[in-house]
A and B are shown apart, each in its own frame.
Chain A
Amino acid sequence: MSTYQLNYQLNTDPDDYLLEFHPSGPSFNHYRREFRRIQNENKPPDAETEDGISEDDSTPEPYSPPPSPSPPSSIVTMDLEIMDMARDVNQTPVHTPIQRRARSLEPSISRLSMNTPNERYRQNPHYPHSSINTPAPPTPHAMAARRALEDRRIAMFTPGRTRRQSLREQRETPMLILRNLGRALAPTSKVIDSSSSPEKPSPNGVGNRGAGGSGRGAGRRNSDDDDELPIDRPRLSLPIDEGSSDDLQPPHSSILEDPNMTIQSVELPRRAISEGPPRRSFGYLGDSDATPWDDIYGNDDTNPDPFAYPLGIAPHAPTDPEIADLRFPPGVGRESDFSLDMPSGLSDNEQTTFYMRSPVVDTVEAVPEDAPTPGSDDVPLMERRQSERDRLQQQADEADEQQDEQQDEQQEERQGGQQGGEPNNYLDDEFPDMGDFEHVPDLGDAEMDALTRFDAETFAQDPVRPGDEWIGYPPGRPRKKRREDDEESARAEAAAEAQAEAQAQARARARARAQIRISAHNIQYPPVANTFVRQVVQNAAQNSALGHQRLAADALETFSRASDWFFRQLGDDLRAYAEHARRSVVEERDLIALMHRQRVVNAEQSLFHLASHNLPRELQQLLRSNNPGYQPAYPVAQQSGTHAQQPLANAQPDTINGLRSFVPTPPSPSHTGSKRKRDEDDDGESDAESLVFPEDDDY
């Protein structure tokens, strides 16, 4: 004890003064243990064990038991020793028992503080307050729990042999047992490489290379095996380690690499051809390899090429429906509604031009009828294309002048039809009669050439102006004059053509304006307005990559046509739904059902969400406020604005997700309704103002 006092006096470590500050002070056992430790320093190391046993003192202590390290036999101590193995060599192992610690290092004075109750929290600097540093648990249950904790921690750092219990049955397959058996029975033999791994020299590869002389992949081929002795063949014809080798891929993986196959095999709804969109009208715009009716329209690379297309213009498929391959007669291939009319007088010619007659209402046709003079050229035609807008203003005057000239109406009609390659003459319903085909043999060589030539610059491009035709002769016409001698006649012809074309355009536009479109239910309907389509497309294109481009006229025309098809499809669907519900009115329910089936409204994306992103505010308000039919069916109507703000987070299982947020506000201006709408309108305008919607009586 005197040495203790002396040590305390000499100690300058402030940790040791903590011992002084303890309210109850160190107990007797504490001093006793320290005394034993100091005694152990002077002992020889073989006398360690008996002191280690007597280390623990079972006498109760007045304060919390000092962090007496548990006996080295306990698991906790072993684990702590394992953890100490990772420590630095110079660092003092904190968890070693006192005897070893005191013996191994010099007996520092600060070791005295290791047994103080405050010091125990500093034993493991990595886990300063963890349960490791706490003394051994008093109960066996606590000890077991702690052991389980330690096992789990150790298992985190050990490789997965003991950790991955779920794969144990995979590891213990009979194949594994057999392999272990094989390893036990023949520990020195090598694994026979199969023929499926040609990089490794297979044992039979010696004979293969000697006979066949081919190194890589020689064992795979049966022709090389034919050269072998018949003894070796049956053994090595199959890869032996096929079942266990991991580098062998399943054969269907190559299929899955195809994205289209993946898409089609996974989810995308596919329709029967019969109920699909009007696919017949899709393909005339080119991209003949993607369109399925090449056999109808005829690939011209299979053609003997009677028109001598310039080289380098798209070797196949001008996708001109009117110039098609006659080797596909109309009745042979796919049954289509197109009727192919072969001009009778043309049979002596070797040219395989015939004309397609379209049954579709909105497909556009133009037919060359007559050749005015041979050698007519199209240079002014192309030039007129550039100055088309200017001419359109003068159409009426030109028409009058044209009337003054000797050309009658029929002549104009013919000339306009002759310019079918210029795709702006006729729209749908002005398809000229087929009875004029007796004029077809009158076509001169130059005219036929002009009709069937393609310009490299304008080929496969599409009509520039919205009034242009879609199906017709290719828009590209020869730009250069090919014949210089009859320039005068060509010029006169061009002038006549210009006026005729101008008239035809004027008539076509007037007819397109007053075009009668009849739906499948014999109801006349207007075409989709181009301004509307442009507005919607530009709204949609703001998010896309091409949003800042100006929408070209032909693209706009394509979009409006797509819109027409879409509305046709939509009308059919809505009628089907309403008829199924035995209604005669298409209601909002049908549209919501449609959108569910289109999967644009699903669990992740509610209708409210869609509407808030795609509709202006007054339309959202209209949707919300004017749906009284939903109110009895969906009693979530009384939900407040927070639900409307977070339709996804508050998804309730008993309500349809798309409808829930569209529950109208109560008709009386209750508090919840105004609150919700005020949450909606961020600019805080009054309710009465936003309820006003511009009525549609004027349009």
Chain B
Amino acid sequence: MATGKRPYPRAHLRKIVKAHAGMKLSKNADVLIYLNYSLFMNALVKEAAIHARQAGERGFTPRNIMKALPDVLARFKG
């Protein structure tokens, strides 16, 4: 699977989480971080789509996203 396409910016993600956690990350923790992040984004997109559908809009707007964001963030608070 020697592909050139990287699945996600790995070091980027590691830097961000490392800075927020103030700790090191183990070797493959960022894979799970990415998994969790994609789950979060799934939930957020889903909720925002619901709100957008309720508002009768055709695409995502920041209004929909911000409406959905507190709930989803609270859901993903460990």
Binding site for B on A (CB under 8 A): 268-271, 275-277, 279, 282-283, 285-287, 290, 460-462, 517, 519-521, 523-526, 528-529, 532-533, 535-537, 539-541, 543-546, 549-552, 554-555, 557-559, 562-563, 565-578, 584-588, 590-595, 597-600, 610-611, 614-619, 621-623, 626-627, 685, 689-694, 696-697, 699
Contact = CB atoms under 8 A, between A and B. Distances in A.
A546 B58 contact: yes
A621 B7 CA distance: 13
Nearest to A519: B19
B27 to A, nearest CB: 6
B70 A541 contact: no
Interface of B: 1-4, 6-29, 31-42, 44-46, 49, 52-53, 58-63, 65-67, 69-70, 72-78
A586 B27 CA distance: 9
A694 B65 CA distance: 33
Given A566-B76, A697-B11, 12 more contacts: A269-B77, A540-B45, A540-B46, A555-B61, A559-B65, A567-B37, A571-B21, A585-B24, A587-B26, A591-B36, A622-B28, A690-B1
Contacts of A552: 59-61
A598 B76 contact: yes
A525 B20 contact: yes
A523 B19 contact: yes
B34 A696 contact: no
A592 B32 contact: yes
Contacts of A597: 78
B29 A588 contact: yes
B38 A462 contact: no
Contacts of A599: 75
Nearest to B75: A598
Contact of B31 (A546, A554, A615): A615
B46 A528 contact: no
B16 to A, nearest CB: 5
A100 B42 CA distance: 77
Nearest to B52: A546
B6 to A, nearest CB: 6
Contacts of A593: 78
Contacts of B59: 546, 549-552, 555
Nearest to A625: B28
B32 A565 contact: no
14 contacts: A285-B62, A287-B67, A520-B20, A536-B37, A536-B38, A540-B45, A562-B44, A566-B73, A574-B17, A585-B24, A588-B29, A595-B36, A614-B42, A618-B1
Given A277-B73, A536-B37, A546 B20 contact: no
Contacts of A279: 70
Most B Cβ at <10 Å: residue of A529, A537, A593: A537
B9 A570 contact: no
Contact of B78 (A524, A537, A577, A587): A577
A537 B63 CA distance: 16
Q: Which of A462, A587, A611 has the most CB of B within 10 A?
A: A587
Contact of A588 (B32, B34, B63): B32
B76 A569 contact: yes
A586 B26 contact: yes
Nearest to B76: A598
A554 B29 contact: no
Contacts of A563: 37, 41
B20 A570 contact: yes
B65 A558 contact: yes
A544 B49 contact: yes
